[in-house]
Structure 1
Amino acid sequence: MKSKKILGMVLSVMLVASACLSGCKFSDIADIGNNSADVGSSDVGTETPEKPEIENAVENGGIYAMPAKMAFTSDTLAAANETGVTVTLVATVEPADAPDKSVDWSVNWSDDAALKESDITQYLTCTPETDGSTTATVQCKQPFGDDTIVITVTTRDGGYQANCMVTFVGIPTSMTIETDLPERTTDDFVKYREIGVNRTGSVTVKLDNAFHSVSEMYYQQLEISCKAPKVMVCDETQTTNGDGVTTSTQDNIHELDLNSVVSEFISLNVTGATFTLEANRKIETYYSSFRTSGRNIIYYDKFLRYLSSLEASPYFVVSVKLPGILSTSAGFNLQITSSVTGVSLDGALKI
């Protein structure tokens, strides 16, 4: 069988028709739903980020010299409404004076595509302008996840081939989080999640868009953080006299930002869209170090109280962000509480 050579195609993209977009644009980002009504002091952006640059992205109605790679995006597909995104590809057959420039077009799933058993024409079609034409209309009808579709053009004279790798980029427009941690509400209607010492909780992040098809790469860009509250601490000296009576004195009372030692209280383990929180200790049990000297024990930076201001709060703030894509964050307040460590019965049962 005659071996086929790969025809070098023009890779530069020539846009000769501007896209006419209507309906849902990327700038119409929905507000992110938070599990908690108040995410405390978490930093929340107020400006909508610019539309991200997607490599090899095409616009609806564009005409392109056939590229090696091409990407359809969810925002462009949403703007096209029910008609799908349509672009025109032009293959270049060389040399320019070849008498027969006829080609055939075909579309196929890549070998590792999760949807390869599905009818590819329900997702993407490639229709030549006329039989043998080097110009073809490509229509993306619906998202095809993180799979790849291969458009192949084959010359009838010589069987030379060139491929265009087509992908779909599902850009998230909203984010929500779900957790198995119980929700509580204070008397003044502040909502928070609760976790006991030595207990763990699971949190799952869900990115979404109009097609419920978000590219996996965006989950790898999530920024997850846990911010600690500010507290007042002191150096406390406990002195025990000869009679065994202990007295305490407090000195050097000052404000302390616990973010530098937040891992002493909460351990955060992230795996893709899911992360776990493990509570190590309550803030109320905190002191950074201690020193003994005779009958004296000095506790340095011992917890005294929460910062006395409008920002005073016993809550950690768990926050999830997708910088450059979503303008706001999702998150919740978190309080560490005591956990049950045992149970016992007092006295003997009398019958």
Structure 2
Amino acid sequence: MRVHNFSAGPATMPLEVLERARSEATDWRGSGMSVMEMSHRSTEFVGIAAEAEARMRSLLGVPDDYAVLFLQGGATGQFAGVPLNLTAPGASAAYVNTGSWSAKAVSEARKYVDVRVIADEKHSNYATVPAEGSLEVPTGAAYLHYTLNETIGGVEFPYVPDAGDVPVVTDASSTILSRPLDVSRFGVVYAGAQKNLGPSGLVVVIVRRDLLGRARQDVPGILDWTAMAAADSMLNTPPTLAWYLVGLVLEWVEEQGGLTAMEERNRAKAELLYGAIDRSDFYSNPVEPSARSWMNVPFLVPDPALEKPFVAAASRAGLSGLAGHRSVGGMRASIYNAMPLEGVQALVDFMTDFEKQNG
């Protein structure tokens, strides 16, 4: 009996993908072995990898002058990878702080580059993003970095910042594939897989090729985009199982109608859940409406003492993973691509019943 899994990551995956993987678990397409067993240098796996990259390029409309890398270390590894690949010692870079994950990116980058935080939404308790057109990127900055969607705080940029000639770098972990994204407006897009892409253990880095070749001489090979691009992301043994599963997820997204269809589905789910919260006098969402995430919806109840009973009762009702992040409390529903509208409706129905019993 599968539950509706609202966890922020690792997160729910399409049932069709899991069943497909199960059917191929011991014998991938007549090869006589599992993907987990085959060499990453084999003809079979090289084909799996190439197919996944081709689907990623097709779905996101990735231009030919961008490399698509499938790496290890998660998005957190790229907090260091970005400055190590894009700057020389002593260089500066512009960062925007809209919450927990952008703050972690800032902290890691400061080990390698002079970080200029050009906007910090602390004044709103990280419930907003900077107004469009308000960002001023310092002269000489190597890049502008921002977190497209804050998984913990439920804050999302509704626009792509304009940085002029400065490359824009974004952590798109929580929102990639949720709707169309104009990759050509970015120098680098990176995303941990464990939200919309597949299981944990892999990060996708999409980097404009003219930005390759800037890596520091002492950058670890595992983080060197140029070396990884030259080796088709196989400088070392890659996370083969995760890569294969990402490929299946990408195929599933295609079968659903691509990113335009995902956008329609995800908008409907977000509107359903936010609508229920906004109509209620019992629940509240702390985020400025214009900056609300489609993927991660935090919400509060009037009395914090009701949080644990809410989560426990929801779990008994087959609604899993609704506790808010330990750093902020409350509740949070992550409604990624694989979460069906029926799951969100089940949550809304439960919230209505819980309010009647405790309001």
- Does the alignment reach a TM-score above 0.5? no
Computing the radius of gyration from Cα coordinates, the structure with the larger value is 1
By relative contact order (CA 8 Å, sep 6+), the higher-ranking structure is: 2
Length-normalised TM-score, structure 2: 0.25
Higher share of residues assigned strand: 1
Length-normalised TM-score, structure 1: 0.25
Higher share of residues assigned helix: 2
